[in-house]
Structure 1
Amino acid sequence: MPDPILVAIAAALAGKGVGNLYDLVREKFAGRSEAKAALEAARDADAESPQVEVLSEELARTEREDPQFSAELRALWQEISVAQRADRDGVVNQISGDVSGKVVQARDIEGGISF
């Protein structure tokens, strides 16, 4: 059974929403054709896709081979995977990745929004 953390990392990599993490993995996979192909195949794939599963398996293999990479990968993931929780009818909004344009983060809106 795949490591849930590696599956989450692979899904994040597929969306390229976490630049530093993507760069770390891309650099590590640069000399490994199968791993590099798995990273490319997972690009823009759904989190539940076979491509993301293959990528998570490549991450697991790479972690077993390189404990230093494993530590760096997981430390970086810990930094960027902020667990947020709304409490007492609160709202949690988070934007990550390359964002351009206008964004509205809100809970209850009465009336319209214009930019």
Structure 2
Amino acid sequence: MDEQFWTPVAVALATKTAETLAEGAKSAITALMAVVRRRFERRPDAQAALDAAEADPSDPGRIQALTTALRTAAAADPDFAEALRAGWREVSAHIEVPDAGNVNHITGAITGNVVQARDISGGVTFGQR
């Protein structure tokens, strides 16, 4: 499966996206979660990754651990991989999941202004004109 598949699935599972969705999407993500939970019940480490990501979905490390657990389980079990892919197709038909990999990172010494934003309509001004 392609690399851009894993993180959105992990984010949707971790953030319990179903809680804020229309009925069709709720049932789709609930079914996807059931597939993942059934597979992970045989792997305590994978279940721990899912639980940790659900507990704090804003933690990129937890999302990465869940992403790795999903990828590892799918590599070991082609039937799980197909069920995951099919479940994700159903979920993604109903939602737009934030891309956890599309994050601003700022490192080093900052001497000027910085804006971290997704969509901006209009201008951005710093200080006085």
Common topology (TM > 0.5): yes
Alpha-carbon distance between aligned partners in 2 of 1:83 and 1:31, rounded to the nearest angstrom: 30
Q: Which runs of 4+ in 1 moved over 2 A?
A: 44-48
1:9 aligns with 2:48: no
Kept in 1, the 8 Å contact 2:53–2:59? The answer is: no
User: Which is richer in helix?
Assistant: 2
Q: Which piece of structure 1 moves more, 75-84 or 53-62?
A: 75-84
Alpha-carbon distance between aligned partners in 1 of 2:58 and 2:46, rounded to the nearest angstrom: 18
Larger Rg belongs to = 2
Which residue of 2 is the match for residue 57 of structure 1?
Answer: 68
1:80 aligns with 2:98: no
Alpha-carbon distance between aligned partners in 2 of 1:56 and 1:14, rounded to the nearest angstrom: 10
Shift of 1:83: 7.0
Alpha-carbon distance between aligned partners in 1 of 2:58 and 2:4, rounded to the nearest angstrom: 12
Q: Which has the higher contact order (CA 8 A, sep 6+)?
A: 2
Unpaired runs of at least 5, structure 1: 85-115
What aligned pairs does 1:26-37 form with structure 2 within 5 A after superposition? Answer: 26-37=37-48
Which residue of 2 is the match for residue 108 of structure 1?
Answer: none
TM-score by length of 2: 0.59
Aligned residue pairs, count = 84
Alpha-carbon distance between aligned partners in 2 of 1:32 and 1:41, rounded to the nearest angstrom: 14
Alpha-carbon distance between aligned partners in 1 of 2:58 and 2:85, rounded to the nearest angstrom: 19
Kept in 2, the 8 Å contact 1:7–1:56? The answer is: yes
* Identity over aligned pairs, percent: 33
Shift of 1:82: 1.7
